[in-house]
Amino acid sequence: MTSSKPYLIKAFYDWISDNQLTPYVVVDTTVLGVQVPWQFVQDNQIVLNISGGAVGAISFGDNAIEFTARFSGKIEYITVPFGAVGAIYAKENGAGSSFPIEHDETFEEEDISTDEPSIKLEDASIEKPTTDDNNKSSSKKSGRPTLKVIK
């Protein structure tokens, strides 16, 4: 029999959202497959606002919740396996449920490639920009942002 946890998380998400409340999930970042911005992780946990207004393209798949969200103005792709969800609750009143963390998430061995690293050291090299007259004028930083009208 399949786990009921994904169904319960989706049901709580729908229930919280239908009542115009803000759904939050508590994620254990030590679980295999979690993709979150690590600079916001504290004590191996992160709390994520998964309301429709805060995330884009949210998807409740068979194994994980996937969506995009902005962190410090940068769009991040987030993956949260259902085994990593410790709780889902409404921000406004705390209504929701907690769940046990499942560290033995059922990812197949072939899903995790150990043959070659996905990022090589030479891929990470950064070239210094060349300086010419055009770059000098655009690289000046003023105190205030400006907009330019282009017709």
pLDDT higher than threshold 50 for residue 105: no
Q: Please state the domain extents for the chain.
A: 5-103
Instruction: Measure CA 36 to chain center.
Output: 4
* E strand map for the chain: 23-28, 45-49, 55-60, 64-71, 74-81, 85-90, 96-98
CATH superfamily of 5-103: SspB-like (2.30.30.220)
Helices (H), the chain: 5-18, 133-138
Torsion-angle region of residue 16: left (phi > 0), alpha (psi -120 to 50) or beta?
A: alpha
pLDDT higher than threshold 50 for residue 104: yes
CB neighbours of 67 closer than 8 A, spacing ≥ 6? 50, 55, 56, 57, 58, 59, 78
How do residues 70-83 score in pLDDT, each as one tens digit? 999 999 999 999 99
Per-residue pLDDT band for 149 (boundaries 50, 70, 90) equals confident
Which residue's structure tokens are 């889902």? 88
